[in-house]
A and B are shown apart, each in its own frame.
Chain A
Amino acid sequence: MKAAYIQPFYKATRDVFRIMMDVEVKRGELRLAKDLIPSKEANVIIGTTGDLSGSILYSFPKDMTLTMVKIMSGMELKELDSFVLSALGEVANIISGNAMTYLNSENYRCDISPPHVMLGATQSLSMATDVALVIPMLSPIGDFDINVSLRETNE
């Protein structure tokens, strides 16, 4: 697990939040976790295959999720319903897709699987992964985590 995989995800997140929501995000201090752990209520997991195999877990607080979808839709939203969670899944999907484009330009060929959305903070996803790097992301509408657990397949 290299810290070099982190920058493409940070860059993609910053771009997508700016383009889609006019929200500026900043990076907090990186930390290591033993597994992928959903720390907040609304979670999106996306798998990767190819040169880098593993999973990315996006973990958002409920209020922030509602604010994000409110900014995009212009509608007042109260519940984490199928509309809100699908929109969150798509945002994570777009971020991951853009991160893959950056990784491709560094000669890693990878693909992503469709987003899978889960509700609720739990102990661990037990993906039998290696350690995960947690990127804490800070923004005026809330703080969220991106957990990256990737392994080079030819290692």
Chain B
Amino acid sequence: MMWKDKYKIGVELIDRQHQELFGRVSNFLQAVQSEGHWEEKLEHVKSTMEFMQNYVVEHFEAEEEFQREINFPEYENHKQVHDDFRATVNDYAETFAQEGFNQELVQEFGAKLMTWLIMHVAAADQRIGAFVRKQGGIHP
């Protein structure tokens, strides 16, 4: 996944975290799609998935905290979108834990994660940046 400057919302903390998140999801996707037998690369897939998942949680919490600090008017809606996606990630994690890391299912999970993240950062999160600019910047 390529990070693009157009994804920036103009808030340094959030932009830095988004960039990190894109990097971790990219590493996970590369592990999933790399050449070789699934069984042989499974350990690498699992570790990159865990590394990425932890950061999804960390980032959502930090972004929600920032939204509360600036009194972002769309906070509730935005949090609901995060909660829905947290639930999707947890559902996949549970399935993998119970039924094993089926290759096709892990690929499907990777595809959902990638498309969701691009659309969320490139569209929904831009509204945070627009609000901050409308308020004339961040007032600590």
Contact = CB atoms under 8 A, between A and B. Distances in A.
A81 interface: yes
Contacts of A75: 29-30, 33
Interface string A1-25: 0000000000000001001101000
Interface string B66-86: 000000000000000000000
Interface in B17-52: 26, 29-30, 32-33
Interface string A81-93: 1111111011100
Given A83-B110, A83-B111, A87-B114, A94 B104 contact: no
B61 interface: no
A94 B120 CA distance: 11
Given A73-B29, A77-B33, A94 B115 contact: yes
Contact of A73 (B1, B119, B122): B1
B119 A86 contact: no
Interface range for B: 20 to 34
A19 B32 contact: no
A20 B26 CA distance: 16
Interface in B88-140: 103-105, 107-108, 110-112, 114-116, 118-119, 122-123
A91 B115 contact: yes
Contact of B111 (A22, A74, A90): A90
A86 B4 CA distance: 23
Given A20-B122, A82-B107, A72 B114 contact: yes
A85 B105 CA distance: 12
Contacts of A85: 111
Given A82-B103, A82-B108, A90-B112, A19 B123 contact: yes
Nearest to A86: B111
A86 B108 contact: yes
B118 A72 contact: yes
Interface of B: 1-2, 4, 26, 29-30, 32-33, 103-105, 107-108, 110-112, 114-116, 118-119, 122-123
Given A22-B4, A86-B110, A90-B115, 18 more contacts: A16-B119, A19-B123, A20-B118, A20-B119, A73-B26, A74-B2, A75-B30, A75-B33, A82-B111, A83-B29, A83-B33, A83-B108, A86-B107, A86-B112, A87-B114, A90-B111, A90-B112, A94-B119
